[in-house]
């Protein structure tokens, strides 16, 4: 099939494009190559994808509709996967406007593109951060998610709402998946695992927020990609509505639109995560314990039942194995 994927120079977009190319699909990648973190890492990812004759790259910002249109003309996509975004919870405190520009205006442009192209399936990357102040643990897709704690989360929830309206008005089959703390090789340097490994290896202290009393539902990148690839084939319709007493399907009654968690439902304590890294490196961290940062939540914890019902798959790679693979990649590249 033919794919248009936004964010292919990024962590998740790179891995998804690589997987689809290996399966013989044609992929046009769209990315702004912004300097939010070291652009050289983005260039390395793109260079790996460019080894395939089935990959074409278009550089441009999501806010630039003309650039998106050029990518669409090249792709003629059967499927659009929108992964590009301004990421990072803490950076949203410093530069909130970039989140509105990319995640709201940029996502609106992607929706407009889908309206004109009418792909077989539009898939959008959201985040577990949209659950915000929700006190019900674990998080199910049908839970209330109206109290976002950061502008990052608010812009992602806004994208979900806009996407539902477009799915309703223009009958665009749409799936929004909510990610839970994705990690692995080729990850972003601002993410906890990368920062911790880099600091421990170089004898710098690591900053542990919330006094280490938080937990995260870590999702290894290969598991995330497997979940996305399987969901591509599950085009939202009444034909695949899940009707089970134990699962509430988020398939809308007004639109071909569904929200799905991609998480394993196995949260790991932050200190246990740090100890796993120390064990893999054979070296103790210099720990700098800090209070919770504004916008942080104590725990993330997915209910994966809907994903399993739709695809037969649940993330399964344990944190110890995932951290080992990341450390090997880091040591080879840094």
Sign of torsion over alpha carbons 155, 159, 164, 142: negative
Please say whether the beta carbons of 50 and 39 come within 8 A: no
Beta bridge pairs of residue 260: 177
Decide the pairing of beta strands 286-289 and 268-269.
unpaired
The answer to whether 152 is a known catalytic residue is yes
Compute CA distances 267 → 64, 92, 124, whole Å: 38, 24, 24
Written as six digits, the tokens of 7 are 């964010």
Sign of torsion over alpha carbons 62, 21, 37, 176: positive
As a whole number of Å, the CA-based R_g of the chain is 19
For tokens 């037969």, the residue is 312
CA distance 161 to 150: 17
Decide the pairing of beta strands 121-127 and 247-248.
unpaired
Cβ burial, residue 105 (10 Å; 0-12/13-18/19+): middle
For tokens 């990610």, the residue is 179
Written as six digits, the tokens of 299 are 């725990």
What is the DSSP annotation of 22-91?
HTT-EEEEEE---TTS-HHHHHHHHHHHTTSTTEEEEE--TT-HHHHHHHHHHH--SEEEE------TTH
Q: Which of 131, 152, 183, 220 is catalytic?
A: 152
The number of beta carbons lying within 10 Å of the beta carbon of residue 23 is 10
Residues with catalytic annotation? 152
């Amino acid at each position: 099939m033919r794919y248009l994927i936004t964010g292919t120079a990024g962590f998740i977009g790179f891995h998804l494009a690589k997987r689809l190319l290996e399966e013989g699909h044609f992929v046009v990648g769209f990315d702004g190559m912004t300097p939010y973190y070291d652009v050289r890492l983005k260039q390395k990812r793109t260079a790996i994808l460019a080894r395939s004759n089935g990959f074409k790259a278009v550089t441009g910002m999501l806010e630039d509709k003309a650039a998106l249109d050029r990518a669409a003309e090249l792709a003629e996509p059967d499927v659009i996967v929108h992964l590009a975004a301004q990421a990072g919870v803490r950076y949203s405190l410093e530069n909130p406007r970039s989140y509105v520009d990319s995640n709201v205006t940029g996502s609106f442009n992607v929706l407009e593109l889908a309206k004109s192209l009418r792909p077989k399936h539009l898939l959008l990357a959201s985040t577990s951060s949209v659950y915000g102040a929700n006190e019900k643990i674990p998080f199910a897709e049908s839970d209330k998610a109206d109290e976002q704690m950061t502008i990052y989360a608010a812009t992602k929830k806004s994208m979900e709402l806009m996407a539902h309206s477009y799915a309703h008005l223009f009958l665009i089959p749409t799936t929004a998946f909510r990610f839970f703390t994705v990690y692995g090789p080729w990850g972003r340097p601002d993410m906890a695992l990368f920062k911790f490994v880099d600091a421990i290896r170089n004898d710098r202290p690591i900053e542990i927020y919330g006094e280490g009393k938080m937990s995260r539902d870590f999702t290894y990148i290969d598991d995330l990609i497997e979940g996305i690839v399987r969901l591509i084939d599950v085009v939202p319709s009444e034909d695949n509505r899940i009707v089970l007493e134990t699962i509430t399907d988020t398939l809308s009654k007004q639109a071909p639109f569904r929200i799905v968690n991609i998480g394993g439902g196995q949260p790991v304590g932050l200190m246990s995560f740090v100890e796993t890294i120390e064990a893999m490196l054979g070296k103790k961290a210099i720990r700098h314990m800090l209070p919770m940062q504004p916008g942080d939540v104590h725990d993330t914890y997915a209910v994966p039942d809907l994903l399993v019902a739709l695809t037969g798959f649940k993330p399964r790679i344990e944190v110890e194995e995932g951290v080992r693979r990341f450390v090997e990649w880091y040591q080879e590249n840094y």
